[in-house]
Amino acid sequence: MRLFSFRALALGVLGLTGTVAAQPIFSGGIEFDGLPLGARNATANLEAEGGRLYAGPRLIISEDGQTFRFEDDPVFDPSVPEEARIFSLDVEGDVIWAGLGYVEPEPDANGNTVQVAAGFAFSTDGGQTWAYRFPQLDAQEDDTLVYGVSTLEAVPVVVPQQSPPFDIDVEAATGDVWVAGFASGLRRSQNNGQTWERIVLPPDTTDRIDPTTPYDFLYAPTAPGLPQQNGFLGFAVLVDESGTVWAGTAAGVARSDTLDAASGDLAWRRFAFDGTSGSITGDFVVAIEEQPLGDPTLPVGDPGNPRNPVWIISRPGDAGGVNGLTVWTGDDADGQPLFEPRLIPGNRVNDIAFDGTNVYAAGSDGLYLSNDDGVTWQTITTFRTAQGTVIPLGSVSTFAAAVTNAGTPSATVWVSTGDGLVKSTDGGQTWTAFRVNVPPAGDGSDEAPEVESYAYPNPFTPGADGYCRIRYDLTQDAGTSRVRIFDFGMQLVRDLEAPARAGANEALWDGLSSDGTRVANGAYFYVVEAGGTTVSGKILVLE
């Protein structure tokens, strides 16, 4: 169901093609299995369902862990911008929901990047056919909201700006779809996205609400001229095995309590960082995941079947806190939740996946791995093949994790990086790498062209692709090569050093100029000089 779209890798269009077994490629002395053309090396979303893997931001599906099909024919309404990509993803059996959004090319008046909702694509047959739904927005007249016995004033959200679907969860028992959409708050659809209802969470002035109690607060997550209500802002959502709903906000995690039969509304309690060892690690909750440990043959809550732990990924919020992981292990005799900090890294955790008591947390400084339910951890910053060769990646950052065939001998761990997918079938000891091999624009073949040098992906979208790889072949070792990037006016943009070994070599360009700013769209030229050999080519940057 993750997302985590503020990674700002944001996102893929959906449709359908046949299975693609892309040609393997070689990089840094090792062989990469090829991802299909149209996929992205900078994978932002991973979701596992049994033995199937789903990956975004441009959706690819693997049934066997080795070959992939790329969903390429848009099923959107014509009004959906072509740049729309996957912000969030959830799979329950053959039901797939993808939350779509995009980033406006120009910042707003305050210099902030504006993320925009673009609707949803969903499938009920495992991705064979798709349907489209519009974004979770209000009508202009939706200026009141009924919650239990109260009729609240509300500010309707009528524009898609600042309401991207950051997280999505399909409730397995009912088919209800829950969406956390920042300015649009937490919403639910009970009719496959045809309509969306606003879900009221506790406002910043209280940590609990009950539909049987009268209230008169204004429901407005964020609106011009009004104070921002951090407790209404939606960033994450999970419906656990018992049907309890967990909502991540900018003011902590809200958990549903009793259901009022008369109104059909839920009571809520919010839990925030308070500086004690029994609170979550930070107020800004960006992801919530359930760890399947229970016996599915026994009723939930049975003495022999304790509740599944719920893991919470948080950032520091207005009340403080740290980047970290917290796990809920149940409630005490008084009904108070038991929260235990399990990982407080120096950098951000982005996503988490499980295989029994094995926990895999994707972080900005590597992959965190625990074999004892998160009590102790090791950090993987170098991924190696079974032969001990280091897999060359552009950085140590990891963005998402998933486990296919969890709980079986064929369990496979998948981790996304900014420079391709890696998988492990031995619990993270050794890895296999997958990467897109994209020939120059206009070449329709699946294989790299037989030329001295080329760049891929090309066109290059820095925000989605992560890196452009400049490939060049040398007949002998030459120490170090110099790679220069020029703009259309032949002004030097970037000066790089790269390997110069006999055979295939690659230089990585992240789309930044020498002063660290993102380059503008357009044509750029590269020149590689090594051992008396000079090769050149063109890269089209298209954000």
- For 533, the enclosing helix (H) or strand (E) is strand 533-541
Q: What is the pLDDT of residues 372-386, one digit of tens each?
A: 999 999 999 999 999
> Nearest Cα to 101, choosing from 91, 90, 86?
86
pLDDT at 521: 85
pLDDT at 11: 28
Q: By the 8 A CB rule, do 307 and 244 touch?
A: no
**Range with the lowest mean pLDDT among 173-177, 271-275, 358-362, 447-451?**
447-451
Question: Quick one: average pLDDT of 276-302?
Answer: 86
Q: What is the pLDDT of residues 134-147, one digit of tens each?
A: 999 999 999 999 99
Confidence band, pLDDT 50/70/90 cuts, at residue 77: low
pLDDT at 37: 62
Q: By the 8 A CB rule, do 98 and 123 touch?
A: no
Domains (range + CATH), the chain: 453-541 (2.60.40.4070)
Q: What is the pLDDT of residues 358-373, one digit of tens each?
A: 999 999 999 999 999 9
Confidence band, pLDDT 50/70/90 cuts, at residue 8: very low
pTM of this prediction exceeds 0.85:
no
Question: Quick one: average pLDDT of 12-24?
Answer: 38
391 compared with 446, residue with greater pLDDT: 391
Q: What is the pLDDT of residues 331-361, one digit of tens each?
A: 998 889 999 999 888 889 999 999 999 999 9
Confidence band, pLDDT 50/70/90 cuts, at residue 112: confident
> Nearest Cα to 247, choosing from 164, 185, 175, 162?
185
Question: Quick one: average pLDDT of 273-288?
Answer: 93
267 compared with 445, residue with greater pLDDT: 267
DSSP helix/strand/coil, 212: coil
Q: What average pLDDT does the structure give for the chain?
A: 85
**Range with the lowest mean pLDDT among 40-44, 278-282, 302-306, 538-542?**
302-306
Cα 423 from Cα 414, distance rounded (Å): 4
**Cα angle, residue 10 at apex, residues 9 and 15 outer, rounded to 5°:** 125
Question: First-to-last CA distance in the chain?
Answer: 26
pLDDT at 299 over 80: no
**Range with the lowest mean pLDDT among 157-161, 189-193, 200-204, 464-468?**
464-468
Confidence band, pLDDT 50/70/90 cuts, at residue 174: very high
300 compared with 160, residue with greater pLDDT: 160
pLDDT at 344: 87
Cα 164 from Cα 44, distance rounded (Å): 15
472 compared with 33, residue with greater pLDDT: 472
> Nearest Cα to 196, choosing from 180, 210, 182?
180
Cα 383 from Cα 516, distance rounded (Å): 27
pLDDT at 452: 63
pLDDT at 413 over 90: yes
